[in-house]
Homo-oligomer: A and B are copies of this chain.
């Protein structure tokens, strides 16, 4: 096709051959072969002039397209391999949607506008499974410790706060000691859904020798807040979620509040070259937020 285009544009075998870095005789043969293969005369030629047939004129348009798309494909595959283009599937837990994810996504979209970000909100356990399954390229979740096959970037530290209805007896207290919660009904996600969060809550109580009354274990953070609003108990949630919960709910600082690490994680052996830049953005956020 490049041979054909060279001749179609120059209408001169010698110059077209030169453009293709070859001598005229083999070039003539190539053109003849193309015509023979297609079974179509593309050029009307005698020893003094070369002209396109109607079929050749039409073919020229098509060739221009095909060659252009071919070049684009070769360029793009290099861009994808370099991580400048492609797709990145990012999982994140609901807590992160309110804090670090928007900033992370915005910065990355600016740095890599041609990478399509597929966002997928999941529970922490789902995230872990999807990371090892390869369904996700990276994820924002709580640090649940040991994970040798994952690379980890610390994004932020979040303290837990307690939330309750504004008509709750403890609402008048400014800062709440754990002992005050001995008799409270607590709502918390099950360990199977959010191990890091749940274990932080459990440790917080057990350090004071308290066994919390966990009355409800919804899987979604959203549901927990709703249930607290209905007056079914109190809950310990990350500080970043305590703004804009809606009316009727208040949050209070906890004494020696448990701290959770929000991390960006990706498989060590990821094949997606778009991930590394994403991890770098994560590190830059870490520097500004800690």
A272 sits at the interface (CB 8 A): yes
Q: Say whether B38 contacts A77, CB under 8 Å.
A: yes
Interface string of A59-94 (1 = CB under 8 A from B): 100110110011011101110110001110000000
Residues of chain B contacted by A273 (CB below 8 angstroms): 54-55
A198 sits at the interface (CB 8 A): no
Known: A40-B78, A78-B38, A78-B39. A66 touches B55 (CB 8 A): no
Residues of chain B contacted by A44 (CB below 8 angstroms): 271
Q: Say whether B66 contacts A80, CB under 8 Å.
A: no
A42 sits at the interface (CB 8 A): yes
The chain B residue sitting closest to A41, CB to CB, is B81
Q: Chain B's nearest CB lies how many Å from the CB of A204?
A: 42
CA distance A72 to B273 in the complex (A): 34
Known: A58-B76, A58-B80. A53 touches B271 (CB 8 A): yes
The chain B residue sitting closest to A42, CB to CB, is B77
CA distance A56 to B81 in the complex (A): 9
A interface residues with partner B (beta carbon < 8 Å)? 1, 38-42, 44, 53-56, 58-59, 62-63, 65-66, 69-70, 72-74, 76-78, 80-81, 85-87, 271-274
New A-B contacts (8) at CB < 8 Å, excluding given A40-B78, A54-B273, A59-B73 = A38-B78, A39-B78, A54-B80, A55-B273, A58-B76, A58-B80, A62-B73, A62-B77
